[in-house]
């Protein structure tokens, strides 16, 4: 049950968190070394050109004026213009965000599809070879750096076997669906899948391992509960006992972690995007960090903070769907 008052309270909290993040990011930008003027001008630029650029950027204004200007811009959706590219940051983020969100969702789906059954199998076969195998797999998943895993997948699956392309996005999910729906052509979908599968596995592996371990431990706890024994005593088929009753009750902590991890996947896909040349915000931020393009860095960090706040809000609401006894007021 979610009350309107709770929603308003969470919304206000969210706004405060994002405002705090914006302020912190702004301060960090101003105490970081490196001048935007150097980004926008060549090393041989004359003092006149440097002065002119400073004026154009408003860098000759007092810092509180710059802050208020920036804050006002953010409120109207204007995150300023990239120092290097001159293009509006909000447009760049809008152009790139779908690729990152798509990748994060794909990684989550792959992780959940594998992790939840694996966790259940592991719990129901406790201390048996299947359990050891699943535990070993999740241990490997947690301890494998995704940078290394991505490169290995490219070298083995793409270069040696030639099964999937090494990099790039191919086509977007929405474009693939449009092609399928309006032209009955599944080619776009295949291209989309071929391009996304390796980055999604790479990004989702750690997540998958984490959920497998969590599902296993929660299931072990649930399977000890009396209601499970009652279900079995009543003669319910075992899959129903496991997946309808025990698994559902063990899902609350999993949902919490999923929520936190989706935020992490959006913010933490940078390495995977670089390895697979995935044209998302992660790659954009790497270019921006290389060039000290603080306008893009600021915009990206705001996007990440908004993503975290939003995802966590939905996680809280999901609690009430999974467990009717949870009330958010």
The single residue among 95, 131, 221, 316 that binds another protein, judged by CB under 8 A, is: 95
The single residue among 18, 189, 236, 260 that binds another protein, judged by CB under 8 A, is: 189
Contact 255, 313 (CB under 8 A): no
Q: Crossing angle for the helix pair 251-267 and 294-322, nearest 10 degrees?
A: 170
Draw the binding track, 55-84, toward another protein (x: CB under 8 A; -: no contact): -----------------------------x
Distances (CA, A) of 69 to 45, 93, 167: 27, 20, 39
Which residues within the stretch 36-55 sit at the binding site for another protein (CB under 8 A)? 38-39, 41-49, 52-53
Residue with token string 């860098």: 59
Per CB under 8 A, 292 contacts another protein: yes
CA angle 147, 143, 105 (to 5 degrees): 60
Per CB under 8 A, 276 contacts another protein: yes
- Helix and strand numbers (H, E) in the chain are 16, 0
CB of 184 to another protein, least distance (A): 14
Name the phi and psi angles at 278, rounded to 5: -80, 125
Per CB under 8 A, 141 contacts another protein: no
With a CB cutoff of 8 Å and minimum separation 6, the contacts of 297 are: 25, 29, 285, 288, 289
Per CB under 8 A, 2 contacts another protein: no
- Kindly tell me which of 188 and 309 has the beta carbon lying closer to another protein: 188
Which residues sit at the interface with another protein, rule CB under 8 A? 32-35, 38-39, 41-49, 52-53, 84-87, 92, 95-96, 99, 109, 113, 151, 154-155, 158-159, 162-163, 165-171, 186-191, 193-195, 197, 274-277, 279-280, 283-284, 286-287, 290-292, 321-322, 324
């Amino acid at each position: 049950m979610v009350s309107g008052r709770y929603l308003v309270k969470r919304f206000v909290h969210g706004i405060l968190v994002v405002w705090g993040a914006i302020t912190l990011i702004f301060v960090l930008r101003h105490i970081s070394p490196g001048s935007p003027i150097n980004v926008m001008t060549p090393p041989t630029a004359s003092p006149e050109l440097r002065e002119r650029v400073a004026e154009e950027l408003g860098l000759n204004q007092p810092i509180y004026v710059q802050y208020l200007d920036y804050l006002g811009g953010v409120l109207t959706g204007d995150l300023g213009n990239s120092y290097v590219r001159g293009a509006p940051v909000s447009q760049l983020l809008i152009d790139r965000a779908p690729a990152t969100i798509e990748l994060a969702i794909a990684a989550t789906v792959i992780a959940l599809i594998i992790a939840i059954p694996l966790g259940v199998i592991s719990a129901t076969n406790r201390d048996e070879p299947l359990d050891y195998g699943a535990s070993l797999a999740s241990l490997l998943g947690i301890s494998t750096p995704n940078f290394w895993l991505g490169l290995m997948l490219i070298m083995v699956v793409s270069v040696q076997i030639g099964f999937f392309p090494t990099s790039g996005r191919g086509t977007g999910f929405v474009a693939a669906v449009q092609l399928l729906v309006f032209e009955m052509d599944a080619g776009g979908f295949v291209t989309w899948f071929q391009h996304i599968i390796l980055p999604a596995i790479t990004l989702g592996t750690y997540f998958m391992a984490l959920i497998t371990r969590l599902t296993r431990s929660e299931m072990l706890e649930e399977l000890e509960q009396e209601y499970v024994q009652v279900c079995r005593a009543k003669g319910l088929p075992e899959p129903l006992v496991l997946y309808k009753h025990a698994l559902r009750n063990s899902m609350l902590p999993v949902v919490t972690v999923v929520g936190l991890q989706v935020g992490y996947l959006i913010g933490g896909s940078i390495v995977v995007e670089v390895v697979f040349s995935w044209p998302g915000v992660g790659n954009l931020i790497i270019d921006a960090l290389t060039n000290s393009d603080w306008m893009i860095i600021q915009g990206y960090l705001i996007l990440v903070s908004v993503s975290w706040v939003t995802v966590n809000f939905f996680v809280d609401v999901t609690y009430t769907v999974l467990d009717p006894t949870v009330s958010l007021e």
